[in-house]
Amino acid sequence: MRSIRAAYDALAAALGLSAILLLVLPAGCSRALSDPIPPVHDDEAAPRRGGTLRLASISDLRGLDPAGAVDGLSLGPVHLIFAGLVDYDEHARIVPELADHWSVEDGGRTYRFVLRTGVTMHDGTELTADDVKRSIERALHPSTPSQFASYFTGLVGYGAYANGEAEHLEGVVAEGRYDVRFRLQRPDATFPYLLALHAMRPTCKSAGYRYSDTWLPCGAGPFKLERGGWQPGTSLRLVRHPGYFRPGLPYLDAVEWTFNMQEPAQRMHFERGELDLVRDWTDITAARFAADPRWQKYGAVEGDNAMYGETMNTRVPPFDNVEVRRAVAAAIDREHYRLTGPARMRVLTQALPGSVAVDPSYVGQRYDYAAALEHMRKAGYPYDPATGRGGWPDPIEYLLYDQGAVTLTAPLLQQDLARIGLRIRLKVVSFPTFLTLQQRAGAVAISLGSNLLDYPEPSAVFDGLFTTSSISPEGTQNTSFYSNPRFDELAAKAHLELDPERRRALYQEANAILCDEAPWAFTFGFHFYDVHQGYVRGFRPHPVWPLDVGSVWLDRTGDELERMLGGGLR
Amino acid sequence: MLDARALARFRRNRSAVAGAVVVAALVLFALVIPLLSRHGPLTSNFPDGVGPDLMPVGPCAEFPLGVDRIFRDVLSRLAVAGRLSLVIATSATLIATAIGTVVGVVAGYYEGSGLKVPWPALAGLVGAILAALLGWMWVAVSVLLAGVATSAVRHFSGPRLNVDGVLMRVVDVLLAFPFLLLVMAIGASLDHTSSVTIFVTLGVTGWLGIARVLRAKTLQVRTLDYVVASRALGQSTPRVLLRHVLPNIAGPLVVSATVLVAQMIVADAVLSFLGVGIAPPTPTWGRMLFEGQSSIQVAPWLVAAPATILVMAVWGFNMIGEGLRDALDPRGL
């Protein structure tokens, strides 16, 4: 009933608003962007402490337990609350964070981390090796619904621990107060990346061991949860951790989120100076900010960590025919896709998003209409564009859900594939239904594929999405059910290969196989476009994490700052 | 039904005439624009629809109502959506009116006296309900028709049922369900939605109001002298209903049906707005509203155009309905 009433309200609001628009706006006219609020001091000014950074989100927070923080919204606050043994620098390179240093021993089978001394957790205790071991065991405990657990099967003793046969994880050893060793069954070049995952970050012993959606977070990051500062569905307030191990940081007194605020409201509050930084723009609004010279220097592109494509089930006709898949990959005009969100979308022509592309200039798939027709001919389904005859004889169902970019790209795909004789019929389902069907063997012929990198390394794409071992009858991430022994071999070798150059070569060959055999037609990469007010200083989008505001400071006049400190949106 | 005096009263009602003009204009718009437009409703217009800032162009000579987020001509989509919306609304109204009339007249006519139902017809009805509950719709229809046909070809005995009580309790129960929730549930259960499934769904769920109105009117009419007289003269019940009752309840029937068209237009828009209407890329007014809402601040024409035409259509049919009610009102005779 509530959803229907909400729909009625939304429809009525849309009707009413449009009537007002018709009265007050000439046709085609749209409201101009306001001026940015400038900083008080010049570019050379030293950072000032104080103030509350005010953010908002169109959705609600799923939780603050790092073991379950997998979505873009949760990652923001979780990243501010929890520090890891290692993290990424501004070039997405692994650097020590809570670790003072680390070494690789035993031919890549053992990683030894030595912790910083004197790191204070949010509950006032000092970080020790036992905290690291306990936190990792907590994250990988069988009762914790972590989607990252499968990454750690190479840890010695993981199987026994995951099955509940062992009380502790044998492969994680706390040696002394500040020394932690990770023992692997075989060398794994990607292991340091896995330790940067938030799920692996140390948590306070006092916060409790069991996973919960309502678990109150406690870590060693620059901000901590204010007592009573999390109102699910409404707001979140983090305050400065006075014992943060990096001297002088953070500059801000607090960071606040308001949840469930729709994009038009966010834009209104932002332009009135009541929100300081916004990332939930619609594609059109983001493009307008990006194109406005007044706002360009306050806009920032987040990491290119998401990839999208059309995933074709290699076990379902006609996509069990590699030539049909090649035809699809060649028939899609990716530039048209990009035009649906030019500020946030980038044409993708290979299996790796921009942030981890081995060779960013590599063009593995591209729009080539003549080639697409030729592939259809080779597949045995020649199509004559002049007469419209030929092609695959039956309609092909394309599964989608009714939100986000796919509502725009699906009709474009339909138009592109009609030109090579593939008639697509769109079937809209709810998002949970979409996931269930897409991840079920034989249920879907073609659908939208998407992947947000868990860590910035090609294996984060290849292992889950395309290896034979990731196929399962239900709940598979390999939604194209793609299997290629050579590809599997390359993916496995890359894990073992510690030499970066040789690993890159393996990844590039694997990438070329995927582009040629086209289990996906790779279409576009996606990045958020953040816009902040001029007085928000020191914000640099992190190449991996969303909304990393740990070094942000506010440069407003005293009275404005006072109003901000008064807190809240009017 | 609409004699010269009633027609004159309708013509004197400016709101009603304005409503009729608006509806006629909408029908003309839906029929003619797709024939004249240079741009198809499903085709993206590259590069003409792309503005210099890579955004969809607004209203201009080439695209009088601008283009949408994937650069399709809004005018052409609006007109094709209008065809669909009008066809769905009128078809659903016809179905709902037919069901509502049968239920309302039968319930009103047999109120208090009951109806003797032959055993085969009763068995067919019970079997049809069971089959429908099991999801075997064709079996349900077949069983019901077989029962009724068997009862028609020869005489069978059967119990006397309180048909009015049964039908009105069914109406009460169905009215207790939120209309849209019921429609959404049916729509969601369908593997693929088309205009036919939408208007059938709306039609078989939208007859309740008409049934109640016509039952009340039939209760009045059946006591009139000429109806009593024809029954006393031995005229068959179907003949009495068709010759004497139906013509005298036609006024409220037409008024209710006209207003129902407007309700069906809104219901169709809501279904599309919620994503359980006709699958994209087929344009509907509700779908166009849904697609345009996220861009309302920067491309207001995407919402303004379908919203305006939706308001006009609903207002037009409502004004016609109001005008007909005033024109056919016996107090005005």
Inform me whether the C-beta atom of residue A45 falls under 8 Å from chain B C-beta atoms: no
Phi–psi pair at A417, nearest 5 degrees: -75, -25
Query: Which tokens belong to A258?
Result: 């308001």
Please give the distance of CA B28 from its chain centroid, rounded to a whole number.
20
Interface test with B, best of A20, A23, A30, A419 (most B CBs within 10 A): A30
Distance from CA of B14 to the nearest CA of A (A): 23
Indicate the pLDDT class of residue B227, thresholds 50, 70 and 90: confident
How far apart CA B282 and CA A332 sit, in angstroms, is: 21
Cβ neighbours of B311 in A, within 8 Å: 15, 19
| Nearest by Cα to A454 from A463, A466, A443 | A463
**Three-state secondary-structure class, residue B258:** helix
How far apart CA A65 and CA A208 sit, in angstroms, is: 11
Contact A73, A62 (CB under 8 A): yes
Inform me whether the C-beta atom of residue B192 falls under 8 Å from chain A C-beta atoms: yes
**Is residue A511 left, alpha or beta, with left meaning phi > 0 and alpha meaning psi from -120 to 50?**
alpha
Cβ neighbours of B60 in A, within 8 Å: 28
Q: How many distinct helices (H) and strands (E) make up chain A? A: 17, 23
Contact A284 B299 (CB under 8 A): yes
Of A8, A21, A267, the CB nearest to B270: A8
Amino acid making up residue A339:
L
Contact B298 A411 (CB under 8 A): no
Contact B332, B31 (CB under 8 A): no
Which residues on adjacent β-strands are paired with residue A56?
A258
Amino acid making up residue A201:
R
pLDDT at B263 over 70: yes
- Name the residue with tokens 């099967």: A153
How far apart CA B268 and CA B265 sit, in angstroms, is: 5
pLDDT at B7: 85
Of A21, A28, A402, the CB nearest to B275: A402
pLDDT at B164 over 70: yes
Inform me whether the C-beta atom of residue B288 falls under 8 Å from chain A C-beta atoms: no
Query: Which tokens belong to A429?
Result: 């389902």
Cβ neighbours of A7 in B, within 8 Å: 180, 270, 273-274
Cβ neighbours of A263 in B, within 8 Å: 294
- Name the residue with tokens 């729009």: A367
The chain B residue lying nearest A431, using CA atoms, is: B275
Inform me whether the C-beta atom of residue A282 falls under 8 Å from chain B C-beta atoms: yes
Report cis status (omega within 30 of 0) of the bond before B178. Answer: no
Contact A287 B295 (CB under 8 A): no
Cβ neighbours of A402 in B, within 8 Å: 275
pLDDT at B1 over 80: no
Contact B299 A30 (CB under 8 A): yes
Query: Which tokens belong to B268?
Result: 């169709």
**Three-state secondary-structure class, residue A365:** coil
A254 vs B205 pLDDT, higher one: A254
How far apart CA B312 and CA B305 sit, in angstroms, is: 11
Inform me whether the C-beta atom of residue A291 falls under 8 Å from chain B C-beta atoms: yes
Inform me whether the C-beta atom of residue B190 falls under 8 Å from chain A C-beta atoms: no
Query: Which tokens belong to A296?
Result: 């360009």
Q: For residue A158, what is the enclosing H or E element?
A: helix A158-162
Inform me whether the C-beta atom of residue A439 falls under 8 Å from chain B C-beta atoms: no
Which residues on adjacent β-strands are paired with residue A477?
none
Give me the mean pLDDT over the B20-46 stretch: 93
How far apart CA A470 and CA A451 sit, in angstroms, is: 15
Cβ neighbours of B179 in A, within 8 Å: none
| Nearest by Cα to B89 from B329, B249, B286 | B286
pLDDT at A4: 47
Please give the distance of CA B143 from its chain centroid, rounded to a whole number.
27
Residue ranges of alpha helices (H) inside chain B are 4-12, 14-36, 74-109, 119-133, 137-153, 163-176, 179-189, 195-205, 208-221, 225-232, 237-240, 246-274, 285-293, 301-328
Contact A415 B286 (CB under 8 A): no
Report cis status (omega within 30 of 0) of the bond before A66. Answer: no
Cβ neighbours of B64 in A, within 8 Å: none
| 3-state DSSP of B77-114 | HHHHHHHHHHHHHHHHHHHHHHHHHHHHHHHHHCCCCC
Chain A residues 298-337 within an 8 A CB cutoff of chain B: 336
Span of A442-456, B253-267, B294-308 with lowest mean pLDDT: B294-308
How far apart CA A310 and CA A398 sit, in angstroms, is: 10
pLDDT tens over chain A, length 570 residues: 444 444 444 555 555 555 555 544 444 445 678 999 999 988 888 999 999 999 999 988 888 888 876 677 888 999 999 999 999 998 889 999 999 999 999 888 999 999 999 999 999 999 999 999 999 999 999 888 877 888 898 899 999 998 889 999 999 999 989 999 999 998 888 899 999 999 899 999 888 777 777 788 999 999 999 999 999 889 999 999 999 999 999 999 999 999 999 888 999 999 999 999 999 888 888 888 998 999 999 999 888 889 999 999 999 999 999 999 999 999 999 999 999 988 889 999 999 988 888 898 999 999 999 999 999 999 999 999 999 999 999 999 999 988 888 889 999 999 999 999 999 999 888 888 898 999 999 999 999 999 988 888 999 999 889 999 889 888 888 999 999 999 999 999 998 888 889 999 999 999 999 999 999 999 999 989 999 999 999 998 888 888 889 899 999 876 555 555 554 443
How far apart CA B81 and CA B104 sit, in angstroms, is: 33
Of A30, A339, A412, the CB nearest to B54: A339
Cβ neighbours of B294 in A, within 8 Å: 263, 282, 284
Inform me whether the C-beta atom of residue B146 falls under 8 Å from chain A C-beta atoms: no
pLDDT at A357: 87
Cβ neighbours of A282 in B, within 8 Å: 294-295, 298
The chain B residue lying nearest A337, using CA atoms, is: B70
Of B46, B273, B298, the CB nearest to A7: B273
Contact A287 B304 (CB under 8 A): no
| Nearest by Cα to A4 from B205, B273, B288 | B273
Of A8, A402, A411, the CB nearest to B281: A411
CA atoms within 13 A on the CB side of A422: 34
Cβ neighbours of A21 in B, within 8 Å: 296, 300, 303-304
Inform me whether the C-beta atom of residue B35 falls under 8 Å from chain A C-beta atoms: no
Inform me whether the C-beta atom of residue B55 falls under 8 Å from chain A C-beta atoms: yes
Report cis status (omega within 30 of 0) of the bond before A192. Answer: no
Residue ranges of alpha helices (H) inside A38-82 are 72-81
Distance from CA of A409 to the nearest CA of B (A): 8
